[in-house]
């Protein structure tokens, strides 16, 4: 318990320490006798996940839920017991992590599969804290991935690269995103990982001296100009990020200017621009290589100024300039406000959460005012969407209240036009039945196109299905009218025509 609290950079109140200790004690008892593949007691995973989360988000109820996150699923202790012992908030977080654990990648060739799986991941969470717990859980599993069988390693690492790392990025948690990407990269693409690692090592050796020289020179310049700053540190580009950049430039390393960079941490935004001016006064800037993410932040809230200059050896060198608050946001994302509130600095929670909510909300088909959804840390904007599986495991994103008819046309127009029935979760169902979150739907097909009626149009909720049904009805009606005209021309009476039909 002492090691756990000591590892988290936060000053906990006595009652908060009691809560965390109580959760750790229950986790230890519940997981007694259970071992990880590494041979360690299973409770070490729960504790390690809590430490990872505590590094960026030291919220006591969330840490307690992290310690208990595997208890209901893997032990005899029930969610009801957790609710009785710890209250509804912690029980709901634990239950949310359990539900989220069921969102798994499957082999799918659907081009929208990964994007829809990310949507399902968020829709299942309902609370950002659930996502944070799951990300911390996954990060610890990735750090110890070598202890599981190779085929499972590849499956877990692929899922991490496709789902977990991008979500960490969307939440602005650069620290977790980078580590999740690099750990997964080494498993999924070991050859490319080794090649990229070698490139970085070569570049580091080449620029080792120039980094030190630039640090000294910049320190001297800023002190001479009377500009205050907090720190100047070196930064090496993460391997997976470099790998993707090299792919973009066809493997041409000369086009990548930010493999090695210096990062200057300032006290204020005004000083960031003063530093930029001083640097350009002493070093020649490379045209087109100045990016001002302070004036125009990235969608996930990232702020910094990037400039590329020619160093003392006339080689390109990137310098990043940001305030300490911007640096915390870049590293910790949604949790940065904890550290600033504790140190008496201005909170960034409201504005930062607003940006993250907007970014997450951009995954939705229709966006509305984010203020409507910003209630505490809840994710409510997916409450009007459901995510339904095909028998192959592909995911279809549909509005709440969507029916089997909407699903069929979402898969393919031809499937809708040949639909004679359906099964929902293996049981026979009507094509007019409404679907629920994570239903698996199988469409029963006819060999020939079926007759689509006006009732289908009334039951459909999506514009996609309604448009296709309208098109069918219009074409079908035009066909009847044309046939009537032909029969009239052949001097058939209408009553005779309808009797024959």
pLDDT tens readout for residues 132-170: 999 999 999 999 999 999 999 999 999 898 888 888 887
Distance CA 184, CA 393 (A): 23
* Cα four-point dihedral sign 436, 438, 439, 443: positive
Q: What is the CATH number of the domain that holds 261?
A: 3.30.460.10
168 and 184 housed in the same domain: yes
pLDDT tens readout for residues 288-344: 889 999 988 876 678 999 999 988 778 888 999 999 888 988 887 766 654 444 444
206 and 313 housed in the same domain: yes
pLDDT tens readout for residues 408-440: 998 899 999 999 999 999 999 999 999 987 788
204 and 277 housed in the same domain: yes
Q: Say if CB 275 and CB 227 are below 8 A apart.
A: yes
134 and 220 housed in the same domain: no
Give the three-state DSSP class for 496. helix
pLDDT tens readout for residues 126-139: 777 888 999 999 99
Instruction: Tell whether 146 is covered by a domain.
Output: yes
224 and 102 housed in the same domain: no
Residue 363 has pLDDT above 90, yes or no: no
Instruction: Tell whether 375 is covered by a domain.
Output: no
Question: Which pairing describes strands 285-292 and 305-310: parallel, antiparallel, or unpaired?
Answer: antiparallel
| pTM for the model | 0.70
206 and 182 housed in the same domain: no
Instruction: Tell whether 215 is covered by a domain.
Output: yes
- Report, in this order, helix, strand and coil percent for the chain, each rounded to 5: 55, 15, 30
Residue 109 pLDDT: 67
Instruction: Tell whether 376 is covered by a domain.
Output: no
260 and 211 housed in the same domain: yes
Instruction: Tell whether 433 is covered by a domain.
Output: yes
Considering 73, 146, 347, 372, which one is annotated as catalytic? 73
8 and 143 housed in the same domain: yes
132 and 231 housed in the same domain: no
Domains held by the chain: number: 3
Domain end call among 342, 362, 393 = 342
74 has catalytic annotation: yes
For 440, the domain range is: 385-471
Q: What is the CATH number of the domain that holds 81?
A: 1.10.3210.10
Q: What is the CATH number of the domain that holds 444?
A: 3.10.20.30
177 and 201 housed in the same domain: no
Structure tokens at 75: 């032990």
Instruction: Tell whether 178 is covered by a domain.
Output: yes
| Residue 299 to residues 215, 256, 356, 382, 461, Cα–Cα distance (Å) | 31, 23, 8, 19, 31
Domain end call among 188, 206, 237 = 188
197 and 127 housed in the same domain: no
Distance CA 161, CA 320 (A): 26
Domain end call among 188, 208, 231 = 188
Instruction: Tell whether 160 is covered by a domain.
Output: yes
Q: Say if CB 446 and CB 419 are below 8 A apart.
A: yes
Considering 25, 74, 365, 455, which one is annotated as catalytic? 74
Instruction: Tell whether 43 is covered by a domain.
Output: yes
154 and 168 housed in the same domain: yes
Q: What average pLDDT does range 174-183 have in this prediction? A: 93
Closest CA to 217 of 292, 144, 312: 312
């Amino acid at each position: 318990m002492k090691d756990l609290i000591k590892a988290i950079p936060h000053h906990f109140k006595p009652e908060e320490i009691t809560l965390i200790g109580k959760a750790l004690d229950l986790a230890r008892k519940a997981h007694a006798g259970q071992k990880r593949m590494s041979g360690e007691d299973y409770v070490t995973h729960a504790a390690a996940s809590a430490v990872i989360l505590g590094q960026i988000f030291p919220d006591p109820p969330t840490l307690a839920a992290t310690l208990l996150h595997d208890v209901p699923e893997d032990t005899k202790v029930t969610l009801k017991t957790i609710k009785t012992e710890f209250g509804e908030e912690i029980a709901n977080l634990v239950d949310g992590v359990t539900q989220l654990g069921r969102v798994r990648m499957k082999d799918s060739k659907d081009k929208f599969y990964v994007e829809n799986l990310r949507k399902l991941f968020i829709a299942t969470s309902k609370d950002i804290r659930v996502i944070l717990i799951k990300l911390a859980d996954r990060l610890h599993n990735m750090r110890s991935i070598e202890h599981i069988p190779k085929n499972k390693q590849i499956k877990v690492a692929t899922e991490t690269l496709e789902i977990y790392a991008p979500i960490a990025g969307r939440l602005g948690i650069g620290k977790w995103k980078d580590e999740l990407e690099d750990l997964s990269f080494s498993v999924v693409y070991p050859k490319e990982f080794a090649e990229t690692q070698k490139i970085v090592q070569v570049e580091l050796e080449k620029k080792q001296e120039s980094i030190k020289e630039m640090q000294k020179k910049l320190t001297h310049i800023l002190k001479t100009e009377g500009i205050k700053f907090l720190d100047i540190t070196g930064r090496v580009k993460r391997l997976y990020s470099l790998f993707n950049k090299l792919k973009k430039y066809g493997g041409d390393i000369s086009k990548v200017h930010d493999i090695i960079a210096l990062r200057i941490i300032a006290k204020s935004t005004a000083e960031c621009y003063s530093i930029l001016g001083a640097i350009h006064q002493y070093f020649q800037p490379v045209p087109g290589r100045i990016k001002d993410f302070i004036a125009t932040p990235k969608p996930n809230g990232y702020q910094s100024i990037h400039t590329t200059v020619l160093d003392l050896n006339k080689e390109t060198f990137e310098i990043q300039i940001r305030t300490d608050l911007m640096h915390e946001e870049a590293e910790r994302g949604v949790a940065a406000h904890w550290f600033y509130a504790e140190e008496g600095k201005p909170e960034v929670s409201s504005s930062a959460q607003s940006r993250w909510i907007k970014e997450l909300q951009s995954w939705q088909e229709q966006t509305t005012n984010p203020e409507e959804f910003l209630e505490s840390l809840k994710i409510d904007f997916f409450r009007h969407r459901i995510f339904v599986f095909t028998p192959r495991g592909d995911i279809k994103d549909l509005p709440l209240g969507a029916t089997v008819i909407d699903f069929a046309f979402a898969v393919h127009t031809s499937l809708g036009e040949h639909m004679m029935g359906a099964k929902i979760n293996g049981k026979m169902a009507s094509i007019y039945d409404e679907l629920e979150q994570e239903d698996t739907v199988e469409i029963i097909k006819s060999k020939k196109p079926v007759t689509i009626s006006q009732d289908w149009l009334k039951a459909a909720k999506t514009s996609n299905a309604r448009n296709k049904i309208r098109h069918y009805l219009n074409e079908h009606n035009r066909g009847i009218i044309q046939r009537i005209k032909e029969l009239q021309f052949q001097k058939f009476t209408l009553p005779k025509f309808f009797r024959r039909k």
